[in-house]
Amino acid sequence: MGPAPGVGWATPRLRVSHPRPECVPMHVAFNLAADLDAALTSAATAAGLEAAGFAPEVRTADPRHGDFQANGVLGYAKARKLNPRAVAEKLVAALPASVKEACEITIAGPGFINFSLKPAALFGWLRTHDSAAHLKAGAGTAKSGQQWVVDYSSPNTAKQMHVGHLRSAVIGEAICRLLEFNGAKVVRDNHIGDWGTQFGKLIWACKKAQVADAAALDAALARDPLEEFERLYKVGNDAAEADPAVMDAARAELVKLQAGDAENLAVWKHINGVSLAAFQQIYDQLGIRFDVTLGESFYNDQVERIYRELTATGIAEESQGALVVFHPEHPRFKTQPFIMRKADGASNYATTDLATALYRVEHFHADGIVVVTDFRQGDHFEQLFLTVRKWFAAKHYRVPELHHVTFGAVTGEDGKALRTRDGGIVKLKELLAEAEARAFALVSERSADIPAEERHAIAATVGVASVQYADLSQNRSSDYVFAWDKMISLEGNTAAYLLYAGARIHSIFRKLGATPGDAATEAAASALETPAELALARKLVKFADAIRIATDTLRPHFLSLYLYELAGEFSAFYGADKVAVDDPAVRARRLMLCARTLLVLETGLHLLGLRTLTRM
RNA sequence: GCACCUGUAGCUCAACUGGAUAGAGCGCCAGACUACGAAUCUGGAGGUUAGGGGUUCGACUCCCUUCAGGUGCACCA
């Protein structure tokens, strides 16, 4: 999606014709790659290319070749048996003067068009994008006016959150923030599992414990309710697996619950209240606040309509007593059913997920729905989305974009599912506490001069950020190897390295008695000159592209990678060029670079859901 | 059996969904603090992208096939 016409190079209105930075015009596009793309598209028409068959394909380039490259002429020329370099030359000749003034343009190899931003153009971008609000204003056109619903975290009640719940929560929150930054309105929906068969077993076990020793049960529930419910679930589950009669009894309890039995409903409510309170403690640490928590139970009374509509539209059919959907056009789902009503008449998660999709469109007017779960539910969501598209089309409901955002398993360093020393599940509560403890040890070792109280606060940020970032820094589709040493490490692509880079910039401003982004200081800045200054500026300008790709692919690691490279570029600059020099114009421009690096770094980290520090 | 995911440097991971000489960190080797935080930086060595075919100007990326690991597949979510 290109920028709004008339805001950049695509029109002759912008003229970066004066090398003196103070003359840089006000309107500088946030996403220069997109702007260049638009300029090339216009130029293609002017140059007599077949506009319909030409896409510029602008992307960020290897710094050896420039800042951006356009690859579109290769395919275009090939398809028409033209000389690609000749086409590229025609195209470049047709570019508006503003682009030629802002960039060095070369044609290389088989027909790549390379663009290198001149120092004044880089300076202009930095001057324009001087606050978080201006960055957001630039990015916010991409999904402006769209409504999205993001379904993430979604643990089951009656159980504690464990390490398996981490990725959905962390990745989901980052996706929410990215969508918002791009201008979308986002509803954060915690689709908790509060209506499944686990309650049959759990209620059965509760009643049994009640009969056996009511006082002991009450005492255990008073001490740590969630631990006790978890233990009872295990009792019920083991018993049900060992004895079919217990399984039947548990099913009966579930049926009673779903029918509205007062006693079972009371137990169920108690369990959910206790669970949500415990979840919120984790969410507070991760900086997550849901707009709605609409679990499976919320849709319980809406399932009849689902059965009715899917039957009436001919999408669902009876099979072996169940109501199912087959997809004849699909190699597998033509025989593998999507069961939306069990043979015993009960609903299941296919039913509630169908109802959920409908509710999100009817109630929230969703343009896009994102569901963040692990990859093992791939079949389910593929079937669900196929069904939803057919159903909504048949009923003339709005069909939103549907995305199943998957991620791999969390494994230990042996490649197997992560377990504690004694083979138990790693509880999220304990994992975060350990991260904090390890971070505290590290901060204490490195910064013994900071008061203990502040060190604890720093450790809380570093510990949680390290856990979050470990997840966000790698492609979500691969399995994730959990390794403490790598996670809390200060070296390499870690949260601590990025937080350190930020703390060091804050330190520069403290030392020089300056304020980041101070307009009076920056007004004195001279043109960018040294290789390190220019390299850093080039990296800063590409923030827009990092945001774009992370959002388009719903993969936050593209942003993480960018921020890591930015921090590295800053460290190189820091080592090469001293900020605290006597020449006021040089000092001013380097302070400006520091301020923009800080701005982009902190804005980016906040988009990932991390908290940042001013010292550590 | 049928499908999906994964396989890249000794290790942990990237590679913008087909672009230029496949990049980082750790580890290893050699350097840089009487300079704003060395929790840092600058160099170097390290690759048949699991194997084999194919598609094309161009392939880690797409297709076919073999191998290895993981995961799903009728009433759990």
Residue pair A189/A368 in contact (Cβ under 8 Å)? The answer is: no
Residues 498-517 of A with CB under 7 A from strand B: 500, 503-504, 506-508, 511-512
Residue A320: nearest nucleotide (C-alpha to C1'):
B74
Does residue A336 reach within 7 angstroms of strand B, measured from its CB?
A: yes
Q: Of the candidates A272, A370, A273, A361, which has an alpha carbon nearest to the alpha carbon of residue A309?
A: A361
Å: A91 CA to B46 C1': 43
A474: the nucleotide nearest its CA (via C1') is B13
The predicted pLDDT at position A215 comes to 95
C1' nearest to CA of A197: which nucleotide?
Answer: B76
Give A522's Cβ-side CA count (13 Å radius).
19
| Token pair in block for residue A187 | 């509803």
Strand B contact residues in chain A (32-61), C-beta within 7 Å: 57, 59-61
Determine the Cα–Cα distance for residues A486 and A469; give it in Å rounded to an integer: 11
Q: Does residue A301 lie within 7 Å of nucleic acid chain B, judged by its CB?
A: no
Domains annotated on chain A, with CATH? 21-128 (3.30.1360.70), 163-408 (3.40.50.620)
The strand B neighbours among A residues 231-270, by Cβ under 7 Å, are none
Residue A316 sits at φ, ψ, to 5 deg, of -100, 155
Residue A399 token pair? 């069909």
Q: Complex ipTM, two decimals?
A: 0.96
Query: What's the pLDDT score for residue A492?
Result: 83
Q: Is the CB of A474 under 7 A from strand B?
A: yes
- Residue partners of A338: CB distance under 8 A and separation at least 6: A324, A325, A326, A327, A350, A380, A383, A384, A387
Cα atoms found within 13 Å of the Cα of residue A588, Cβ hemisphere only: 16
| Element at A20 (helix H, strand E) | none
How much is the pLDDT for A590? 97
Q: Which nucleotides of B are covered by protein (CB under 7 A)?
A: 2-7, 12-17, 19-21, 24-27, 35-42, 56-58, 69-77
Q: What is the pLDDT of residue A400?
A: 96
Give the per-residue pLDDT at A411.
85
Per-residue pLDDT of A544-585, as tens digits, reads 999 999 999 999 999 999 999 999 999 999 999 999 999 999
Q: Which among A16, A44, A45 is positioned nearest to A29, based on CA atoms? A: A16
- The DSSP secondary structure of A275-332, one letter per residue, reads HHHHHHHHHHHHT---SB---GGGGGGGHHHHHHHHHHTT-EEEETTEEEE--TTSTT
Residue A415 CB in 7 A reach of strand B: yes
Element (H, E) at A157: none
Q: How confident is chain A (616 residues) per 10-residue block, as mean pLDDT? A: 38 36 61 95 92 91 93 92 93 95 93 95 96 96 96 93 93 97 98 87 92 94 91 89 89 87 93 94 97 94 95 96 94 93 91 97 97 94 96 96 93 77 84 93 91 95 95 91 81 91 96 94 95 96 96 96 96 95 95 97 98 95
Query: For residues A565 and A502, is the Cβ–Cβ distance under 8 A?
Result: no
Cβ-Cβ contacts under 8 Å for A37 (sequence gap 6 or more): A2, A56, A58, A70
